[in-house]
Amino acid sequence: MSQQRQGNTPGNAGAVPAFPDLPEATIARLPEYLRALHHLAESGSETVSSEGLATAAGVNSAKLRKDLSHLGSYGTRGVGYDVALLIDQIEYILGLDQRRAVALVGVGNLGHALAGYDGFASRGFRIVGLFDADVERVGKTINGLPVRHIDELGRAVVEEGITIGVIATPAGAAQGVADELVAAGVTSILNFAPCVLSVPAGVDVRKVDLAIELQILSFHEHRKASLTALPGGRVGGNQEAVGS
Ligand SMILES: NC(=O)c1ccc[n+]([C@@H]2O[C@H](COP(=O)([O-])OP(=O)(O)OC[C@H]3O[C@@H](n4cnc5c(N)ncnc54)[C@H](O)[C@@H]3O)[C@@H](O)[C@H]2O)c1
């Protein structure tokens, strides 16, 4: 997943001194730590070593210790990190101590699948609005939510406190949708359409493109093939979460 940074990141702009200014790579790994920590908590672990957490999150332990030191979390020698405390700290930093309202625009193949996915709620998000321009789709219900016409987006954003918009329309429609989201007051956009969006300062855009991830894997396949073709060639693996 890539990010277009547009002006100040909300939270950094006029940041209160207590809010750490984290490197982007650290921010991208925090959700991985959180997922691993929730798993540990569910299996009854109260503490975890940096090595244990690093393995569970699929990163190296030196990187993990550095990341967590940015949060002021150093663990206790011989004991490790307090799992519940670290969950609270990471959820606070990620702003997950409140469930954020999300609008999804474009309820075709991809949007329908996203709208039907139950896993967002447990990770801090409520999809509260589904919007589409196709009158054939408007009025249909997915996961208990009706698809509304795109013309209702602006009012819904204001009335329902929506701050995050997900775009799953064709690329040709995505900029117009982004403009409508921003005009209505949305300040974060997750864009699945294969295009670059232009947004004003203060709006954050992240882009998800599985084709790009496959192209990166294709590069590694190509590299491995060319290295093993060399006499005595050895190839190491490489693990990176989509979204890092
Ligand atoms: N990021 C990824 O990995 C990934 C994977 C698959 C598809 N995509 C992209 O996601 C997008 C959606 O793909 P899909 O297969 O679901 O397409 P789709 O044609 O099935 O669905 C698109 C939906 O957007 C709606 N739409 C069009 N213009 C609109 C507008 N102005 N306002 C509101 N709704 C509008 C259409 O009515 C339709 O329901 C495409 O841009 C596609 O390239 C990305």
Residue spans of the domains in the chain: they are 16-93, 100-210
How many C-beta atoms surround the C-beta of residue 184 within 10 A? 16
Q: Residue 227: its pLDDT value, please?
A: 84
**Rounded distance between C-alpha atoms, residue 132 and residue 106, angstroms:** 5
Place of tokens 């790009």: 212
Q: Give the pair of three-digit tokens for residue 137.
A: 């789709």
**Rounded distance between C-alpha atoms, residue 3 and residue 185, angstroms:** 20
144 labelled as ligand-binding? no
Which has more pLDDT, 231 or 192? Answer: 192
Q: What CATH number belongs to 100-210?
A: 3.40.50.720
Pick among 1.10.10.10, 1.10.287.620, 1.10.287.3510, 3.30.1280.10: CATH of 16-93: 1.10.10.10
CA neighbor of 6 nearest in space, from 141, 223, 220, 188 = 188
16-93 matches 100-210 in fold = no
**Rounded distance between C-alpha atoms, residue 156 and residue 146, angstroms:** 13
Residue 17: band (very low, low, confident or very high) from pLDDT cuts 50, 70, 90: very low
Query: Element (H or E) spanning 25, and its range?
Result: helix 24-42
Cβ atoms of 95 and 125 within 8 Å: the answer is no
pLDDT in tens, 114-163: 999 988 888 889 999 999 999 999 999 999 999 999 999 999 999 999 99
- Of 85-89, 104-108, 118-122, 235-239, give the lowest mean pLDDT range: 235-239
Residue 106 Cα: closest atom of ligand 1: 24
109 labelled as ligand-binding? yes
37 labelled as ligand-binding? no
pLDDT in tens, 30-87: 999 999 999 999 999 999 999 999 999 999 999 999 999 998 887 888 889 999 999 9
Interval between CA 110 and ligand 1 midpoint (Å): 7
How many C-beta atoms surround the C-beta of residue 230 within 10 A? 9
24-42 and 61-70 helices cross at what angle (nearest 10)? 100
Best residue among 1, 105, 110 to mutate for probing ligand 1, ranked by most atoms within 8 Å of CB: 110
* Whole-structure pTM value: 0.84
Q: Residue 244: its pLDDT value, please?
A: 47
143 labelled as ligand-binding? no
What integer is the mean pLDDT of 6-11?
37
Place of tokens 């855009």: 205
Q: Residue 79: its pLDDT value, please?
A: 87
Q: What are the pocket residues of ligand 1 if the criterion is a CB atom closer than 6 Å to any ligand atom?
A: 105-111, 131-134, 137, 150, 168-171, 173, 176-177, 192-194, 208-210
Residue 169 Cα: closest atom of ligand 1: 24
